[in-house]
Structure 1
Amino acid sequence: MNHSGAESNQRAAVEVTKDKNGIDQVVLQNTRGASVRVSLHGGQILSWRTDHDEELLFTSSKAIFKPPQAVRGGIPICFPQFGSRGLLEQHGFARNKIWVFDENPPPLHPNDSNGKAYTDLLLKPSEEDLKAWPHSFEFRLRVSLAEDGYLTMISRIRNINCKPFSFSFAYRTYLSISDISEVRIEGLETLDYLDNLCEKQRFTEQGDALTFESEVDRVYLSSSDVIAVFDHEKKRTFTIQKQGLPDAGVWNPWEKKSKSMADFGDEEYKKMLCIDVAAVEKPITLKPGEEWTGRLELTTVPST
């Protein structure tokens, strides 16, 4: 299954392996040696490494890799519900399901294929899913790793029902950071946010940049399409670009909450920051036959 764009250059590669529970994973590697590992469990990215083999995503040392548990870390997909805003289980069911490969994915755009490795995964509802959420859909996820190490996730969700349906959605990105008290976020200034620690009440961000000294669990509304996370100690900036996803969640459980989570180490909150690129406040509604696209692009650049 080698559908990397650079057939002439053998090093942009797509390889299938199995985890210890026998679940397939896809490893994408670009020509410079950066890599991304995606599991069919949840269509979830579990690893994104630089060409110096440095891991950019956080996964808890206590994460559980057995479906139907969701994996604590990487980039889980929240669909068709974000958080507890609805009747389904927390963050919906997509992140707990076993997805399938699309053996014949549509090709990349010719301008887009240089040195890029990619894979397409599909999720269709099971009988059980349709009982919980009675809407037929096809969810196509394309994960690609470009020559410059950019990681892109594109979700296409199509309504193959005879009636409309609505959903909320998020890519929940667990970033690996040096120290939560040394990190700042830019791109959320002056925005309204819903505070999950205050019964989803609405507030307005007053700070120039967001920094952390206690638990944070917020959804910023109608944010710009670029958010930057500065990690001073690592001299690294994550740039998060999004399309079709107006909102941005920010989460760090801090000390007390960390101790109450079975699949999360007591001290691990210091090394992670969760950013959701999401459509939460206004659910997305699809008419029969309609398709929605939501895109996330992650990059890192050295910073001072």
Structure 2
Amino acid sequence: MADAADDFKYVELCKGINGLDKVVLREVRGSSAEVYLYGAHVTSWKNDHGDELLFVSSKAIFKPPKAIRGGIPICFPQFGSHGTLEQHGFARNRFWNIDTSPPPFPTNTTNRAFVDLILKPSDEDSKIWPHSYEFRLRVTLGPGGDLMLTSRIRNTGLDGKPFSFTFAYHTYFSVSDISEVRVEGLETLDYLDNLKARERFTEQGDSITFESEMDKVYVSTPTKIAILDHEKKRTFVLRKDGLPDAVVWNPWDKKAKSIPDLGDDDYKHMLCVEAACIEKSITLKPGEEWKGRQELSTVPSSYCSGQLDPSKVLEAYGSLTGRGPSSAKDFCP
């Protein structure tokens, strides 16, 4: 008798908003993710209860050439606005193809919900960024509901010339109330403040909380960052490789009103914490490849300072008591 999981549809190509192609990833326990081929843009990530974990603007425009506001835009070949390239580069508003013959990614046999996408330069792109490259992206939904994005960028030029770029996974997390959220893992680190002409400062707080607009690039950051949502008793854990920096951004009320595709009150329910490589650009010689990976997961938690990895606390609590706590309130004072 065949296993019911064998008939389960882990990957489905279908139509999304305005007829744009998207790939839906599903896991048997109920988690899901959606990836638009336009921008290789993850627009949804839901847990096994059907809760949406990513924020997408109430005014998001799913119509090329406008980039989609929210989810996980891919910032390449630049983050920010520099030179003649558009804001955050062009990868997020180009049509990607499904990669039918990707080079071997490290594979986990338990991961069946994934899609491989590829972007190559068009003639028009070559006029504004004259370099030959292949950008391969794998989006994976793990059996436990974790969301993984792995980027591989290769210099395919035959002219012997290197090229440089900056990069970010511009992740918008869905939060209950921005004033009830804190970020841990970036304490005592240096950051560049984009609201003060990229002046360099050192983080002084024991965690990051939000009372006004914030736009900071933290440098030389750890591989793991936690976003604690007090009201939802939920912690996002962001793990990253090959991405030394982290952007923390919220536009707050005044800036939100100036962004056409962002609702006036949307800032209250979103927070961008972005795995990135910005301070020092990446340079690839012909034939060289760069790899950058981000993994997102959630664990139950409460508003406990210093609790960077609540899952470890949950495991320790369970082994001591012989049972798992129903929530992190069981071990938080």
Same fold (TM over 0.5): yes
Is 1:124 the counterpart of 2:120 in the alignment?
A: yes
Structure possessing the higher radius of gyration over alpha carbons: 2
Letter in 2 for 1:265: G
The residue aligned with 1:94 is: 91
Distance change (3 Å), C-alpha of 1:272 and 1:197 = same
Counterpart of 1:285 (choices 283, 286, 303) is 283
Counterpart of 1:15 (choices 9, 12, 15) is 12
Q: Residue 12 of structure 1: CA displacement? A: 5.4
Counterparts in 2 of 1:175-186, with a 5 A limit? 175-186=173-184
CA distance in 2, matches of 1:54, 1:291: 36
Counterpart of 2:64 (choices 63, 67, 70) is 67
Unaligned runs of at least 5 residues, structure 2:
303-333
Counterparts in 2 of 1:211-290, with a 5 A limit? 211-290=209-288
Q: Residue 204 of structure 1: CA displacement? A: 0.6
CA distance in 2, matches of 1:268, 1:24: 26
Unaligned runs of at least 5 residues, structure 1:
1-5
Q: Residue 102 of structure 1: CA displacement? A: 1.2
CA distance in 2, matches of 1:49, 1:197: 33
Is 1:35 the counterpart of 2:32 in the alignment?
A: yes
Would you say the 8 A contact 1:169–1:279 is kept in 2? yes
Q: Residue 217 of structure 1: CA displacement? A: 0.4
Is 1:55 the counterpart of 2:61 in the alignment?
A: no
CA distance in 2, matches of 1:157, 1:72: 24
Residue by residue over 1:152-210, the C-alpha shift from the partner in whole angstroms, topping out at 9 and shown as x without a partner, is: 00000000013100000000000000000000000101111000100111111000100
Q: Residue 20 of structure 1: CA displacement? A: 3.4
SS of the residue corresponding to residue 21 of structure 1 reads helix
Would you say the 8 A contact 1:143–1:153 is kept in 2? yes
Provide the TM-score with structure 1 as the length reference: 0.95
CA distance in 2, matches of 1:41, 1:18: 12
SS of the residue corresponding to residue 129 of structure 1 reads helix
Counterpart of 1:154 (choices 150, 155, 159) is 150
The residue aligned with 2:130 is: 134
The residue aligned with 1:195 is: 193
Letter in 1 for 2:6: N
The sequence identity of aligned pairs, in percent, is: 63
CA RMSD of aligned residues (A): 1.5
Q: Residue 11 of structure 1: CA displacement? A: 2.5
Q: Residue 114 of structure 1: CA displacement? A: 1.0
CA distance in 2, matches of 1:135, 1:302: 45
